[in-house]
Chain A
Amino acid sequence: MMIPFRALVRKDILLFFVDRRALLMSFAIPIAIGSFFGYVLGGQGDAAQSKIPVLAVDQDGSAISRDIVTRLSGEKALDVKPSNPADARAAVRKGAATVAVIVPPNFGQDAGRAFFGPQQKPEIAVLFDPSHTAERAMVTGMLAGDVMQSVSKEMFTGQTGRAMVKDSLAQVEQIPGLPDADKKPLEDLLRSVDRWNQSGQGDSAGLSRGLTMPFTTREEAVTARQNTKYNGYAHAFAGMVVQFVLFLGIDVGIGLLQQRQRGLWKRFRAAPLSRGVLLGSRAVSAAILAFLVVQVNFLFARLVFGVKVEGSMLGFLGVSAAFALMTAAFGMLVATVGKTPEATRGLSIFAVLIVVMLGGAWIPMFLFPQWLQKLTVVVPTRWAMDGFEAMTWRGLGLQAAAAPIAVLLLFAAGFGVLAVARFRWEVEG
């Protein structure tokens, strides 16, 4: 039985390597798309991040508003350009700018007054592209810090601030509705600030920078080990490998249907071969090819983009093998779905795209709602992705590969049993 088994496996592998389309679909296309997605998802971690395009409209022209624009322009994550209200709105609508910040006339004066008193707060308009809500939140946060620094700096050290403190002192008595118990502490505060300003201590005490955040942050990406950067290509290649290896599985199933259509199945069935040899050889050849495709794609990612197996190599090979077996069993199942290759292909591609999407191969799983994240444990691609990511950039050990391997093997067994049960052994007369 070994001679026909070996010959059937060898035939499938040979047919794969003489099929240009199969080679393109298994190597060239996943590498091309994986490279693109990897670059978009942050590349090797040291690539320059793309800045958020922001338009700044200064309708005030005061020291405070000018300082706000200057500070915004100094933010590393922003690309700030001056504009006017009409152009800014049009640019955001067209998507040319993500956010536009419009500082209104008299902003400096009104903000100064509102800084110490209960006067009406001036309004800064933030126009944003609704498809970039995360960027809007970032810009608003930075703007809040910059405005606070600019206004407080001017209030404690600037000429405008000094005049405004005196002005505010004079108006305390006239503030309507302010309780007498509150007037005294407010007057004391304003007089203290005025004396501070008169003494000229503000500059030397560091208040020239205005009120700043009383802390700094230290950000650290937690990857395989310290000083090892996150590599966006690891996720991208894992995703594309999962997708295109499953496409290879579809080709396995379609190939079986085509063999039936072309009369080859008759020739195989006419030989004294058991069903185990006929289907088993196809499953083994499919698993070998799927394993090979995984290794070649990750080898490319290793050589070109530095994607390393930071975790257990044994675990990585185990996940690869379990995923390859699952793919082979899936291919067998595909062969039982429809009677013709044409009818089967469309349905199978649809199914693969769904499980690939749900498995987090296209976009990271954390972007899914919680309920969907919980639901995806029933999708084999989720386990393949988890396994590959755990063994590559997360750098986890063999233990972390155990669950993905076990679940993928369970899926392989399930698909295999279903395929054998549904397979049409007899040929049409």
Chain B
Amino acid sequence: MKFSIVIHGAPWSSSASHSALRYAEALLECGHEIVRLFFYQDGASSGSSLCVPPQDEINIPEQWQVLINKHGIDAVVCAASALKRGILDAAEADRYEKNAHNLLPGFAVSGLGQLIDAAGQSDRVVSFVQ
């Protein structure tokens, strides 16, 4: 079956991103397909390459990146959510004349329309709220 997952909370300030990660892993283990991961609101922080948690804590963005790249999952950070929280890819950094970019490879910046599009292609949409 086809699933999309919406992540509303930021790693460490909410459990949403961590729970969604566990759920996504279970989906794939059960043989299901992930149409899209959509990181909305604070969830966009899950795409940051600059998180440095203590060594005995899980690095949630890094684990997302591993999962996304291993399985070729379509992972979108909501553009409006990401930009205002300082999550930028190279193109956005260039466009807004910022001196750095920090979006993890495997994630893409796109609009909220991608959530509606994903829902239309999925048997289930599961949200992990703040």
A and B are interacting partners: no
Binding site for B on A (CB under 8 A): none
